[in-house]
Structure formats: structure tokens, C-alpha cells
Structure 1
Amino acid sequence: MKKISDLFSRSSRKRILYHSFFFGAIATAGVISNAFSLSSQAYAQTPPPIVNNTEIDNYAQAVLAMEPARQNAFEEIKKLIGNGEIPKIVCNDSNSINGLPRKAQDIAVNYCTRSQKIVEDNGLSIDQFNKITIELQNNNLLKRQVYNTLLRLQQTPESQ
């Protein structure tokens, strides 16, 4: 009798082990399948990049082209205001310009007009330029891309 009970318990153990393995395999396959379906959904929901490489190049070129005019305008306004603090001037915010003395307003408006033309000459709309400027504040990858583009554009032809 011991031999029959031994056979019975061995087959029971094998059956339980087999069933455990079978259900474990199904559960594992379900988890893996679910993980793949979730990751594919995540890729499908990933938004396209906010800015493409051409826009980054155009933005960097516009910034470099505007910089001398910005520095000149800043220096001229600084001379007019004297030792006072120069307020932040934002071209699409008329309040920032209206708070300046009349001659400084003219300088700021002139700078803003020239900057708009520079942006458009570099293949961007003002809205695109502003969108990129805002995105730069929170997007470190974009910051790095623009920074690297600015460095590349400023290299002398001999070092390229």
C-alpha cells in the first residue's frame, strides 16, 4: 500500500506542479503582453517634437543676427535712463515699452521692428519664434540643441 500511496502522491505533486507551472506561464505571458501593449500605446501617444532641426537652426541664426542690435538698443536706452534700472523690454508687450521715456520707446520700437524682420528673414514667423523662446524655458533638451547650434554657427570657417 505504501507504494500505491507513494505513486498517488507523486502523481498529485506532479499534477499540482504542472498546473502551477501552466498557470504561471499564462500569467507571465499576460503580463508581458500587457507591458508590450502599454508601451506601444505610450509610443503612439508621444507628441511630435515641438521644434524640428530646421527651426532650431533658423532660431539660432535669428538670435545671433539680433544680438548686436539688442546690445546697441540696450546701451542707448541705458544712456538715456542713466543710473536707473532698465526695465525688461518685451516686444510683444506694449506695457513694457510704454513705461520707458519717449526716446527710449523709439529705440525699443525700432529694435523690435528690426528683430521681427530678422526673425522672418530667417524663415520663422513671430509666433514660431515666441513659441520656441517659451519652450526653451522648460525644455532642457531643446536648450542643449539651441546652445549647440549657436556654438556651431559661431565657429570660424577654419575650425569647421
Structure 2
Amino acid sequence: MIKSSLSRLYSHNIFAQSLVVVTLAAIGVLSGVTPGIYKDSHTLVFSSSVYAQTAPTDAEITGYTKAVLAMEPLRQNAYNEIKKIMSGAVPDIECYRAESISRLNPAEARQIAENYCRQASAIVVNYLSPARFNQITQMADNDPNLRQKIKDRMRQLQ
């Protein structure tokens, strides 16, 4: 009698846990939120997936262009300072990729890159969200028409 009660309780527990897992997975898939576990982190990270990127509006192209134009003098200055410090070529530095900054040596070069990234981020938020800015950058990399629209807008604003 006790044995059958325990076995029913155990199977009910497994069923309830399975139902919770399936429900959470379905909600995640339907809402576009996906969990990620990273080897250097002991936490579960949830992030949103972008399935389709909409083409930027004229206002977004203008904001993007203004942000790029405002960042350019800072970028050139940071690049020249890092070039003076480092022997050899300056590697590509992408603010959204921490490893592109962490691999800079000496530490002074990393500090310059980090300062530039903070300043660039502060500029971007005046015009677009950082996520939208990055989306437009990625779209422009793959779309020659968008790239041309951005160049034309730069000429108009300069």
C-alpha cells in the first residue's frame, strides 16, 4: 500500500515537473525569449531573439547618420592614441564585443578603447537605441542600397 502510494506520488511529481518545463519552453518560443547558459557565468540568462529586422525609416537613417558623424572625431582620436601606444597595427575594436577590447595590450590602450566606447554609447542614445543602431549597422553591411542612403544623408548633414 505504501509502495503504490509512493510510486503514484513520484510519477505525479515527474508529470508536474515535465508539464512546467514544456509550458515554459512553449512560452519562450512563442514570445521570442530564449534562455542561454554561459560557461563563465553561473546564472541563467534570458535574451530576446530578433527574427526579422525592419528597414530603417528616414528618421532612423538621419539619427543613425548624426550619431556616426558625432562619434567620428572621438573614434579618430582614440584610434590615433592607441596607435601611438601599440607597436604594430591596431586590431579591430568593436564596442559590443568585450573580447575585442580585452585583448588590447598594454592596459592604457584598453582604457582608451573603453573610454571611447562609453562616449560613443552616450552619443548613440541621443539618436537611437543601441540595439537599433547595431541592427542598422548590420543591415548596412549587407544592403548596398541602405549603405548608399546613409552616405547620401551624411553628405546632406555635413
TM-score, normalised via structure 2 length: 0.65
Superimposed CA distance per residue, residues 58-101 of structure 1 (whole angstroms, 9 cap, x where no aligned partner): 0000000000000000000000003x111100001111001112
Q: Please name the residue that 1:55 is paired with.
A: 60
Once residues 88 and 67 of structure 1 are traced to their aligned partners in structure 2, the CA distance between those partners, rounded to angstroms, is 15
Q: Which has the larger radius of gyration?
A: 1
Paired letter, 1:68: P
Q: Distance in 2 between matches of 1:53 and 1:131?
A: 15
Higher relative contact order structure (alpha carbons within 8 Å, sequence separation ≥ 6)? 1
Normalized per residue, which structure has more helix? 1
> 1:50 Cα deviation (Å)?
1.3
Q: Distance in 1 between matches of 2:59 and 2:145?
A: 16
Unaligned runs of 5+ in 1: 1-46, 155-160
One-letter amino acid of the structure 2 residue matched with residue 52 of structure 1: T
* Match 1:131 to one of 124, 132, 135: 135
Distance in 2 between residues matched to 1:52 and 1:94, nearest whole Å: 30
Give every structure 1 segment of 4 or more consecutive aligned residues whose post-TM-superposition deviation is greater than 2 Å. none
Matched to 1:148, the amino acid is D
Query: Could you tell me the percent identity over the aligned residues?
Result: 41
5+ residue gaps, structure 2: 1-51
1:140 positional shift: 1.4
Aligned to 1:149: 153
Alignment correspondent of 1:97: 101
Once residues 48 and 60 of structure 1 are traced to their aligned partners in structure 2, the CA distance between those partners, rounded to angstroms, is 18
- Amino acid across the alignment from 2:73: P
State the Cα distance separating 1:108 from its structure 2 match.
Answer: 0.3
Structure 2 distance, partners of 1:48, 1:104, is 34
Matches within 5 A, 1:26-41: none
Q: By percentage of residues, which structure has more strand?
A: 2
| Corresponding residue number in structure 1 for 2:90 | 86
Determine whether 1:112 maps to 2:111.
no
Q: In the aligned structure 2, how far is the partner of 1:87 from the partner of 1:137? A: 19
Deviations 1:97-154 (A, max 9, x none): 01112001100000000000100112x0110000000000111111111010000000
